[in-house]
A and B are shown apart, each in its own frame.
Chain A
């Protein structure tokens, strides 16, 4: 018994030590994600409530969040809230000279160092005066509350007065802290230590020339980027500061997701593809149909979809995950409404007739016009809707014009339909103005009969030839030549060329923070682009802006064999 006692004591001591160690590990090294769900709430409820505070400035009570900014300016959640500066991902922003630091789970709850994370051997290469103490210790729930309410960080430093001091109850603070712990706390799907996976979506029925024009440059870009992986790995092995940037480098992979059959089946096809290979984001893509099924899939799964080639995007103020080049044909309808509104301010109201077929090509611009026109409170336009196969002849035009004398006709029809309008000018009766779409004429504006050009106005949502477009096309063609890619549709390839620039910029800024929301945040923060874009005069971004091209010229065509385009409006019509 005397022998057993020391053994038992030793055993108990060992168990105690292990229990203590286990407690220490559990309490200190638990991942931040999921810590302390606010009492009485489920995980989802707490996240939802936290998200509402963070993104919308609305408290669980339904009241607006209140705060004081710049020491004495009261603000509420309708004006701005956390997301305004820290952005959706929580990774922060840089605007002018104001730097907003990250507030996401991964970075908030660990010390903020003045130097990037680096191995011990690399730290030896840094001079002593740079090895200062951490900028701040890791946040705790208590110090986070002090930061949010009083504007003081855990090191005792006061924030710039631009950081609001929020008036939050303990309960609301607990919910917000829970949300922040889970915000961008672990990388999004589609990311491994070596690879960032993307996919591109295209649908059956897209012509081979257009498909090749989209796929070939995109795949060439991905290949180029992947070829650089070895160089970056090598570079990451030397120099004290090379590590953060170069170790964040990932090979890119691109899967082809082809959608077959009717659009109603696309969602399930997309879900199947995604189950087989979860990707970080969708790049480019092309379809002759409405993009809605892909758009909805991306919204539901919170997957970014960057710059697909489509004339039929989803026009929404609230949706987040798909960034389009433009609103497509809808934007042309919108432009006509804006232009006519200004005309009618001086000339007075005139009857307006929209002519279109019951197809996406017809209904989409007609909807753009109608919705904008209604917002202006102008008398409704009349619709003349044709069946999809209904022919348009000279008699049709004459009948339409004699029935609506002096009216403004907006035609969302194709080039064959417009070429039959030649007789209008001869009949003695002509519309006050006739609008046609350059996109629906496939940009072949010569199909517009010469004798109707004086009263025909064309929507032109592209960079004009006289605005240096060909110089940029030359640049794109040179790049395609270097990559041995045949030019099958220069317009589409130019768009994908631009997408490559967006990707390069975005991935460089993301460093190792591979969160989908951050991917979109950095694109939102990109500079406006004018020099790399052949198809549009300007592509601009901004938080929540989901249509990069905002404008559409109204132009007229001169007569003669080599007609020129004459601008009748600014790029953006207000």
Chain B
């Protein structure tokens, strides 16, 4: 009996160790690879969302732009992931300078109940967002449809993950970046997309 318990305990202990390495990314350890990159094809749902100014935005036509589109999923009271994604957007706008006009930055709220146009406007102000960066909210149903369309659906906002999607104007393929990235990586990916 003692041996069985001991064996079961070791199995449990090893399972926990393996699980630890497969899942959480504690702030104390440096990951070997910052992000993963894949190329995907998505169908943008034909939904109407609301931007930070309270204006209605037809998402499909908005994304079918003659500019490079960069899209992420965030929410206004997020603690860790979204502030870094948004600081990345802000710095990208700065780095691009005049070229910033060639890029449409889109952040889609995954907490649409709380993220009203007023909340989103104030959020963008905190990040010194320039023209060309829109924060979109909408009904729960429409937001779910958008998350699902981009294979980014999370049942709960607390379970979300860092995701950035890039698409060149003349291309229906999206570059999907999973992970938090630096501006130099962001610029590299942007230039790769833009050059294609």
> In the complex, which residues of chain A have a beta carbon less than 8 angstroms from the beta carbon of B183?
70, 72-73
CA distance A526 to B80 in the complex (A): 15
Partner of A73, one of B88, B118, B156: B88
A130 contacts B by Cβ under 8 Å: yes
Chain A, interface size category, equals 35 or more
> In the complex, which residues of chain B have a beta carbon less than 8 angstroms from the beta carbon of A73?
84, 87-88, 91, 182-183
Interface of chain A: mostly helix, strand, loop or mixed: loop
CA distance A540 to B184 in the complex (A): 36
- 27 pairs from A and B in contact (CB 8 Å cutoff): A70-B182, A71-B184, A72-B184, A73-B87, A73-B88, A73-B182, A74-B91, A79-B87, A93-B80, A95-B80, A96-B158, A98-B81, A99-B24, A127-B9, A157-B28, A157-B29, A160-B26, A162-B27, A538-B140, A540-B113, A543-B77, A543-B78, A544-B77, A550-B113, A570-B140, A571-B113, A572-B139
Partner of A163, one of B27, B128, B162: B27
Please give the number of chain B residues whose Cβ is less than 8 angstroms from any Cβ of chain A in the complex. Answer: 55
CA distance A97 to B179 in the complex (A): 10
CA distance A160 to B179 in the complex (A): 12
> In the complex, which residues of chain A have a beta carbon less than 8 angstroms from the beta carbon of B9?
127
Given A73-B88, A84-B79, A159-B28, 17 further pairs, Cβ under 8 A: A73-B182, A78-B128, A85-B80, A95-B160, A97-B24, A98-B81, A98-B180, A101-B26, A135-B28, A157-B28, A159-B30, A161-B30, A162-B84, A524-B77, A528-B156, A543-B79, A571-B140
List residues of chain B with CB under 8 Å of any chain A CB.
Answer: 9-10, 13, 23-31, 34, 50, 54, 75-81, 83-84, 86-88, 90-91, 111-114, 116-118, 126-128, 137-140, 156-162, 180-184
> In the complex, which residues of chain B have a beta carbon less than 8 angstroms from the beta carbon of A525?
79, 158
CA distance A75 to B83 in the complex (A): 10
Partner of A542, one of B75, B140, B181: B75
CA distance A153 to B27 in the complex (A): 10
Chain B: which residue is nearest A334 at the CB level?
A: B116
Chain B: which residue is nearest A158 at the CB level?
A: B30
B84–A153 touching, CB < 8 Å: no
A527–B156 touching, CB < 8 Å: yes
B182–A72 touching, CB < 8 Å: yes
Given A69-B87, A99-B26, A160-B30: A574 and B159 interface contact (C-beta under 8 Å): no
Chain A: which residue is nearest B181 at the CB level?
A: A70
Chain B: which residue is nearest A71 at the CB level?
A: B182
Counting residue pairs across A and B whose Cβ atoms lie within 8 Å, the total is 158
A80 contacts B by Cβ under 8 Å: yes
> In the complex, which residues of chain B have a beta carbon less than 8 angstroms from the beta carbon of A253?
none
A101–B27 touching, CB < 8 Å: yes
> In the complex, which residues of chain A have a beta carbon less than 8 angstroms from the beta carbon of B88?
70, 73
Q: In the complex, which residues 43-78 of chain A have their Cβ closer than 8 Å to any Cβ of chain B?
A: 69-75, 78
B13–A127 touching, CB < 8 Å: yes
A572–B87 touching, CB < 8 Å: no
CA distance A98 to B30 in the complex (A): 12
> In the complex, which residues of chain A have a beta carbon less than 8 angstroms from the beta carbon of B156?
527-528
> In the complex, which residues of chain A have a beta carbon less than 8 angstroms from the beta carbon of B76?
542
A52 nearest CB across to chain B (Å): 17
A84–B140 touching, CB < 8 Å: no
> In the complex, which residues of chain B have a beta carbon less than 8 angstroms from the beta carbon of A341?
54
A98–B158 touching, CB < 8 Å: no
Given A73-B182, A73-B183, A160-B30: A99 and B140 interface contact (C-beta under 8 Å): no
Chain A: which residue is nearest B179 at the CB level?
A: A97
CA distance A74 to B88 in the complex (A): 9
CA distance A95 to B159 in the complex (A): 6
> In the complex, which residues of chain B have a beta carbon less than 8 angstroms from the beta carbon of A94?
24
Chain A: which residue is nearest B54 at the CB level?
A: A574
A2 contacts B by Cβ under 8 Å: no
Partner of A574, one of B81, B138, B160: B138
CA distance A84 to B77 in the complex (A): 9
A225 contacts B by Cβ under 8 Å: no
CA distance A161 to B179 in the complex (A): 11
Chain A: which residue is nearest B141 at the CB level?
A: A570
The 8 A-B residue pairs with the shortest CB-CB distance, nearest first, are A542-B77, A550-B113, A80-B83, A96-B161, A574-B50, A527-B156, A70-B182, A99-B26
CA distance A74 to B127 in the complex (A): 11
B180–A375 touching, CB < 8 Å: no
A460 nearest CB across to chain B (Å): 16
CA distance A98 to B180 in the complex (A): 10
A136–B28 touching, CB < 8 Å: yes
CA distance A44 to B155 in the complex (A): 44
Partner of B127, one of A79, A87, A136, A571: A79
Given A79-B87, A101-B27: A95 and B78 interface contact (C-beta under 8 Å): yes
> In the complex, which residues of chain B have a beta carbon less than 8 angstroms from the beta carbon of A365?
none
A461 contacts B by Cβ under 8 Å: no
A100–B27 touching, CB < 8 Å: yes
Partner of A95, one of B113, B128, B158, B182: B158
B80–A162 touching, CB < 8 Å: yes
Partner of A96, one of B81, B111, B140: B81
> In the complex, which residues of chain B have a beta carbon less than 8 angstroms from the beta carbon of A79?
83, 86-87, 90, 126-127
Chain B: which residue is nearest A549 at the CB level?
A: B113
CA distance A358 to B111 in the complex (A): 36
B124 nearest CB across to chain A (Å): 11
Partner of A97, one of B23, B50, B112: B23
CA distance A29 to B128 in the complex (A): 47
A560 nearest CB across to chain B (Å): 29
B26–A84 touching, CB < 8 Å: no
CA distance A232 to B77 in the complex (A): 36
